[in-house]
Amino acid sequence: MDPECAQLLPALCAVLVDPRQPVADDTCLEKLLDWFKTVTEGDIFFPVGSLNLTPCKKKVWELLGEERSSRGTPGAVPLVTPGLGRPHRVQCRAAAGAPLPGGAAVPCAESPGPEFWGPLLLTPPGRNLRSPGKLLPVSSGAVDTIFSLQGDSSLFVASAASQLLVHVLALSMQGGAEGQPCLPGGDWPACAQRIMDHVEESLCSAATPKVTQALNVLTTTFGRCQSPWTEALWVRLSPRVACLLERDPIPAAHSFVDLLLCVARSPVFSSSDGSLWETVVRALSCLGPTHMGPLALGILKLEHCPQALRTQAFQVLLQPLACVLKATVQAPGPPGLLDGTADDATTVDTLLASKSSCAGLLCRTLAHLEELQPLPQRPSPWPQASLLGATVTVLRLCDGSAAPASSVGGHLCGTLAGCVRVQRAALDFLGTLSQGTGPQELVTQALAVLLECLESPGSSPTVLKKAFQATLRWLLSSPKTPGCSDLGPLIPQFLRELFPVLQKRLCHPCWEVRDSALEFLTQLSRHWGGQADFRCALLASEVPELALQLLQDPESYVRASAVTAMGQLSSQGLHAPTSPEHAEARQSLFPELLHILSVDSEGFPRRAVMQVFTEWLRDGHADAARDMEQFVATVLQVASRDLDWEVRAQGLELALVFLGQTLGPPRTHCPYAVALPEVAPAQPLTEALRALCHVGLFDFAFCALFDCDRPVAQKSCDLLLFLRDKIASYSSLREARGGPNTASAEATLPRWRAGEQAQPPGDQEPEAVLAMLRSLDLEGLRSTLAESSDHVEKSPQSLLQDMLATGGFLQGDEADCY
């Protein structure tokens, strides 16, 4: 702890314990607790050095639980539960007649206070407390309180109570005061016994919430505790769990599924135990389609499980798509999906019951299969062709072009027509399926359905976006003709059909569609810019011209995407057709983009321009290479004036690329990298420095070093350090220290610091620059800049000062929230 904080803390404790003093808000109190946790390493009720924090901490806990935040729950005490992944402040309220844990307002001799709860809650499960035996006063009623809190109206409290119960169970199983771990088969400790009795009782309860609570406690236990006693626990409780399947309807089905999967995943659990798999097999046939899917997916994701079960689970997962295929396929379809999949009446019922149940089931199925597809443990053989066929059918049902083969098919046609939700899910899955191989005709089908989707006037912007994404994935994964640089046989024809559709979408009234179309164009040309088929199809279309027009789009997002797309097309000489009538359009794009950088009112297009320019410089684009110095000077001059720090930071990135090209690339700092011989700079150093001065790079970099936006200053610092390292290798210039320019450099720095430009660009002399570089403590600056700019305000000292200062001023004012 800082001495400053140690000095402030007693005063804060005095303020907190004084009921007349105004208290800080909940946020401050939570932050204070966070800090206590860090300084005491999770053991907040033990003194820190000579300073005993206990009274202060107690008060914070009380305050957090006061009426102000918990509303009408006097005597409440907050619990900080680290097990949730983040600390949650919850109010522990007293159930009728139960003693309050640590309730200051309702003192109870029997109830454990923060001395009990604090360390318990702040210790991760499985970690030994100093003396857990002493901390588990079973007779005190503490556990009963937790039982009642499981049913609290607050989700946070109920969830925390369940986790706390697991915590207590784990601690009690760690051993009593003697610290001896309990062995499976032996007597359960009294506290654990009570918890298990409670769980058993809850599992038999007719009230679903009780069953849910019990199942959740068990799931958390098996998920977190991997000691042998958990297996004994399962042996004891599994019959009760299995009994739930005999009820109609099965209570808390989703918690039931979670528990089964959690037990199956537990490393402690012996996989040869047939009772678990028996229950799982039964569950797969008893549960409704809503819960069957997650269970089936969970089983298929398991590393070890009986093959027969995997087969059954996969059939369950495929069931809805199999139904769809059966309902629409006129002739027997490709083998795989329909094999062994009996018509499941429940699945058909769900598909036919209502639009939302049908859409829900299909969306879930598609999402599950999408999750399964890339996994190494996915079933083999993977019915790629059938899945592709089914997904295409689903999409055709959505766009109304599917031909029903039965009454179920007719019903599905009516239900799914225009269903955006299912369309989106199917397109996502279709995109994922592009990663697998399939017969040619199915690839054609997939591309055809995607094209229809992109073309359909009824497609919503979100559907179009997903269709573009799926199309891109299919195109980029399409097989190429071996030994040929051109695209496969299917693609050229597809591209010829695609570009007119893309043209249409570039003129769509919704900005979202125009933007998605531009993003698609950028990606496609990035990957295929060098392919003759692609170039040919693109240049034969009006796509480049339309993209160029979108540089003037009213929507800034679209302008930015148009800049990126045009930058990409231009890099590959695709920004305008080569025919003589398009000579005007083939003119350089540079002035156009520079104009956007200078005048666009929004940051996105300006940032996009800077990225394009940086890429151009890096790749030696004609516009940049023609007169590189002029190009860099012009861009830096405009970028340095920009109000958006990200544009300025990008300007420094461009400057770094230029530096690399002038002085050689940056050295690798990787200790394991093979050290390559230093590439000789393109020109002598003085000349190179003069070029850097000429383009105004130093003016820009030195101004940026004192930029009020930290990332700009950081980037500039890195750039100057790189420059200094480079120069250091030149002995002739190394000893110029103390020369006549040093004084002038030192005089210039404060002016830069104040945000003024020192000299007109290009007037800097290399010697003056070197002098300035030497006079700056760049390492020191870099370490200062590494700290966040609000590190002072968010320090513990600042928090304590703020809490102490809270009072008078805010009290008289009206509360405000924007």
3-state secondary structure of 758: coil
397, amino acid identity: L
Residue 380 CA to residue 35 CA, distance in Å, equals 52
805: contact with other proteins by CB under 8 A: yes
Report the half-sphere exposure of 466 (CA within 13 A, side-chain side): 20
The residue among 430 and 443 lying less far from other proteins, judged by its C-beta, is: 430
Binder to other proteins among 3, 19, 71, 483 (CB under 8 A)?
Answer: 71
Residues of span 284-323 touching other proteins by CB under 8 A? 294
The residue among 308 and 510 lying less far from other proteins, judged by its C-beta, is: 510
The residue among 204 and 810 lying less far from other proteins, judged by its C-beta, is: 810
Q: Report the nearest approach of other proteins to the CB of residue 601 (Å).
A: 6
806: contact with other proteins by CB under 8 A: yes
Check if the beta carbon of residue 576 is closer than 8 Å to that of residue 620: no
User: What is the number of residues in the chain?
Assistant: 818
Assigned token pair, 35: 């800090």
Binder to other proteins among 35, 269, 382, 557 (CB under 8 A)?
Answer: 557
Q: Report the nearest approach of other proteins to the CB of residue 610 (Å).
A: 13
Strands 77-80 and 89-92: antiparallel
88: contact with other proteins by CB under 8 A: yes
| Closest CA relative to residue 116, chosen from 89, 142, 146 | 142
Mapping DSSP onto H, E and C, the string for 521-584 reads: HHHHHHHHCCCHHHHHHHHHCCHHHHHHHHHHCCCHHHHHHHHHHHHHHHHCCCCCCCCHHHCC
Assigned token pair, 145: 């309180």
Binder to other proteins among 356, 377, 485, 549 (CB under 8 A)?
Answer: 356
* CB neighbourhood size of 489 (10 A): 12
Q: Which x/- pattern over 128-157 shows residues binding other proteins (rule: CB under 8 A)? A: -------------------------xxxxx
Residue 520 CA to residue 503 CA, distance in Å, equals 12
Binder to other proteins among 8, 170, 363, 717 (CB under 8 A)?
Answer: 363
The residue among 367 and 536 lying less far from other proteins, judged by its C-beta, is: 367
The residue among 172 and 568 lying less far from other proteins, judged by its C-beta, is: 568
Binder to other proteins among 140, 208, 462, 686 (CB under 8 A)?
Answer: 462
Virtual CA dihedral for 493, 496, 500, 505, nearest 10 degrees? 70
Binder to other proteins among 179, 626, 755, 783 (CB under 8 A)?
Answer: 755
355: contact with other proteins by CB under 8 A: yes
Q: Report the nearest approach of other proteins to the CB of residue 466 (Å).
A: 9
The residue among 183 and 353 lying less far from other proteins, judged by its C-beta, is: 353
Binder to other proteins among 30, 273, 452, 545 (CB under 8 A)?
Answer: 30
Residue 332 CA to residue 326 CA, distance in Å, equals 9
The residue among 275 and 346 lying less far from other proteins, judged by its C-beta, is: 346
Residue 604 CA to residue 597 CA, distance in Å, equals 10
Check if the beta carbon of residue 234 is closer than 8 Å to that of residue 259: no
Please count the residues of this chain forming the interface with other proteins, following the rule CB under 8 A.
Answer: 85
816: contact with other proteins by CB under 8 A: yes
The residue among 50 and 153 lying less far from other proteins, judged by its C-beta, is: 153
The residue among 98 and 253 lying less far from other proteins, judged by its C-beta, is: 253
Residues of span 606-645 touching other proteins by CB under 8 A? 607, 643, 645
Residue 304 CA to residue 324 CA, distance in Å, equals 31
Q: Report the nearest approach of other proteins to the CB of residue 795 (Å).
A: 9
Binder to other proteins among 62, 344, 515, 699 (CB under 8 A)?
Answer: 515
Residues of span 645-664 touching other proteins by CB under 8 A? 645-646
Residue 113 CA to residue 284 CA, distance in Å, equals 46
Binder to other proteins among 3, 19, 72, 671 (CB under 8 A)?
Answer: 72
The residue among 236 and 710 lying less far from other proteins, judged by its C-beta, is: 710
Per CB under 8 A, which region of 23-31, 491-499, 731-739, 744-752 contacts other proteins?
Answer: 23-31
| Closest CA relative to residue 408, chosen from 316, 332, 344, 452 | 344
Binder to other proteins among 711, 739, 749, 765 (CB under 8 A)?
Answer: 711
Q: Report the nearest approach of other proteins to the CB of residue 731 (Å).
A: 35
Q: Report the nearest approach of other proteins to the CB of residue 209 (Å).
A: 11
The residue among 219 and 384 lying less far from other proteins, judged by its C-beta, is: 219
Binder to other proteins among 254, 504, 618, 751 (CB under 8 A)?
Answer: 254
Q: Report the nearest approach of other proteins to the CB of residue 816 (Å).
A: 4
Q: Report the nearest approach of other proteins to the CB of residue 16 (Å).
A: 15
Binder to other proteins among 81, 91, 386, 432 (CB under 8 A)?
Answer: 91
Q: Report the nearest approach of other proteins to the CB of residue 34 (Å).
A: 8
3-state secondary structure of 672: coil
249: contact with other proteins by CB under 8 A: no
For the chain, how far is it from start to end, CA to CA, in angstroms?
36
Residue 421 CA to residue 28 CA, distance in Å, equals 43
512: contact with other proteins by CB under 8 A: yes
Long-range contacts, 1-6 (Cβ 8 Å, 24+): 1/39, 1/48, 1/49, 1/51, 2/796, 2/797, 4/797, 5/796, 5/797, 5/800, 6/49, 6/51
3-state secondary structure of 91: strand
Virtual CA dihedral for 649, 654, 656, 660, nearest 10 degrees? 170
Binder to other proteins among 67, 110, 339, 441 (CB under 8 A)?
Answer: 67
The residue among 352 and 628 lying less far from other proteins, judged by its C-beta, is: 352
Q: Is the peptide bond before 479 cis (omega within 30 degrees of 0)?
A: no
Q: Report the nearest approach of other proteins to the CB of residue 475 (Å).
A: 21
* Element of type H or E holding 184: none
Q: Report the nearest approach of other proteins to the CB of residue 73 (Å).
A: 8
Residue 691 CA to residue 705 CA, distance in Å, equals 20
Q: Report the nearest approach of other proteins to the CB of residue 613 (Å).
A: 18
Per CB under 8 A, which region of 230-238, 298-306, 336-344, 598-606 contacts other proteins?
Answer: 598-606
Q: Report the nearest approach of other proteins to the CB of residue 175 (Å).
A: 32
Q: Report the nearest approach of other proteins to the CB of residue 254 (Å).
A: 4
375: contact with other proteins by CB under 8 A: no
25: contact with other proteins by CB under 8 A: yes
What region does 553 belong to: left with phi over 0, alpha with psi -120 to 50, or beta? beta
Assigned token pair, 684: 């002598």
799: contact with other proteins by CB under 8 A: yes
DSSP structure string for 265-317? H-TTS-TT-HHHHHHHHHHHHHS-HHHHHHHHHHHHH-SS--HHHHHHHHHHH
Q: Report the nearest approach of other proteins to the CB of residue 692 (Å).
A: 27
Residues of span 174-233 touching other proteins by CB under 8 A? none
